[in-house]
Amino acid sequence: MKNQDPNKKTEVQPDPQVPIAQERPSQVEAPEVKAVETVATELPYRILAVDDSSMQRKIMQKIFAADMYDLSVAEGGEDAIKLLSEKNFDVLLLDIEMEGMNGFEVCRYIRDEMTQVILPIIFVSSHVGKDIIQQALSVGGDEFVIKPLDKASVLNRVNAAAIENRLLERLDNTELVLFSVAHMAEAFDESSGDHCDRLFHMCNVFADKLGLSEEDRITLGYASVLHDIGKIAVPNHILAKQTHLNEEEWRMMKRHTVIGAEFAKSIKNCGSVVDIIRYHHEKFDGTGYPDGLKGYAIPYLARVFQIVDIYDSMSNNRIYNDAFPRDRVITVMAKEAQNGLRDSQLMHSFLEIACKNPDLLVRKTMAPEPMSNYKLKAIIDSTMKAGNKELMKS
Ligand SMILES: [Fe+2]
Ligand SMILES: [Fe+2]
């Protein structure tokens, strides 16, 4: 009998498009801000969609009809702020042109007055010019989706944003430090500096395709940021070397998996992250490192993650090679699976996305800096402030 992967998941098919229309609003009174309830850690994702068009709100209800979403809608900015003060949301979809407070004013209020710095805010707009992007960035927005709304792409963005939100909310101080160190390690190793953010996004797209649980998505989210944290222990001249590594250098480079896994052991309830960090360079035929694991002995999520990691590494400029065009990346990856180096079933699923829906793999953010860095900085700053206050008391 053929060797079977015990962890194989069911595939989820992408959804069709949804049309759109416009309409006018109604005004509401300014709300009183109350304490926010405890953060949810499981499905459904709590989405708040704010739009003064009743037609647009109906479209949102259609898009988020599945059980995995708990959609609230608001007719305007004041309504939205009231809801945000009463309930915790994973993602805010915010129309820009509204009567009363417009989307930018609502966003600024949420960031500055309500100090909700982590909540992903996705603007919904029919056109996105340079001015609008500038303004959206200056008030603390994260992303745009463009009207008319494409259901698959909206769900994809919202899922990724919701996971990122929950991941950031779960981080404790130790994890914040690890994340900061990981970003430092990335800065040494990557020429573009946003490899982790792209991985985070693509892991979510792949997770959609594979029908992975939220826990698995969060694990992949951690791994996206932390997988190469062990490179902090690899000398810079080795990381920066543009020619082939000699035997000793290569031995040191390979140690990043083991060292990284040791670093990450402090993450609570997340043993699978440690597995991904340790095993993301194993190969299906047993020729990888550090342990030479073979086939399904390589943990499932490590096999999932490494496919995304390879795709991104080949698709972008690195210190030691220039970006390959997409068709070449796909050919090389398909060949690796054919030659027994990668899990062929997983590779097939991923390459289906890369061939049929490559746009889904592109992280479309308006921010010049990777947003997770921005948010991490905001969280670290607020943690420091809280720490300072405690110090002042003592
Ligand atoms: Fe690595
Ligand atoms: Fe990587």
pLDDT tens for 63-102 read 999 999 999 999 999 999 999 999 999 999 999 999 899 9
Ligand nearest to the CA of 290: 1
Query: How far is residue 45's CA from residue 284's CA, in Å, rounded to a whole number?
Result: 35
- Is residue 235 reached through a cis peptide bond, with omega within 30 degrees of 0 on the bond before it? no
Which residues place a Cβ less than 5 A from the ion ligand 1? Answer: 228
Residue span of the structural domain in which 85 resides: 45-162
Determine, yes or no, domain membership for 35: no
Q: Is residue 278 part of a domain?
A: yes
Residue 108 maps to which CATH number? 3.40.50.2300
In which band, very low, low, confident or very high, does the pLDDT at 281 lie, cut at 50, 70 and 90? very high
For residues 370 and 376, what is the distance between their CA atoms, to the nearest angstrom?
Answer: 10
Cα(360) to centroid(ligand 2), Å: 19
Over residues 140-187, the pLDDT tens digits come to 888 888 889 999 889 988 988 898 888 877 777 777 778 878 877 777
Q: 108 CA distance to ligand 1 centroid (A)?
A: 38
- CATH of residue 253: 1.10.3210.10
**pLDDT of amino acid 320:** 66
> Which pLDDT belongs to residue 191?
54
Total tally of structural domains belonging to the chain: 2
User: Going along the chain, which residue ranges are E strands?
Assistant: 45-50, 69-74, 91-95, 121-125, 143-146
Ligand having the closest approach to the CA of 310? 2
Mean of pLDDT values over 202-210: 94
Per the domain annotation, does 142 fall within a domain?
A: yes
Q: Are the C-beta atoms of residues 168 and 148 closer than 8 Å to each other? A: no
Same domain, 226 and 292: yes
Quick one: angle between helices 214-226 and 195-210, nearest 10? 160
226 vs 223: CA distance, rounded Å: 5
Domain boundary, last residue among 114, 131, 162: 162
Q: Which amino acid is at 275?
A: D
Span from the CA of 195 to the centroid of ligand 1 (angstroms): 12
What is the Å distance from ligand 2's center to 227 Cα? 7
Evaluate if residue 3 carries a pLDDT over 80: no
pLDDT in tens, 221-253: 989 989 999 998 888 888 888 888 999 999 999
pLDDT at 40 over 50: no
Interval between CA 383 and ligand 2 midpoint (Å): 28
Tell me how far the alpha carbon of residue 309 lies from the centroid of ligand 2, in angstroms.
5
Among 141, 130, 129, residue whose Cα is nearest residue 93? 141
- Long-range contacts, stretch 68-73, CB < 8 angstroms, 24+ apart: 68/43, 68/44, 69/44, 69/45, 70/44, 70/45, 70/46, 71/47, 72/46, 72/47, 72/48, 73/48, 73/49
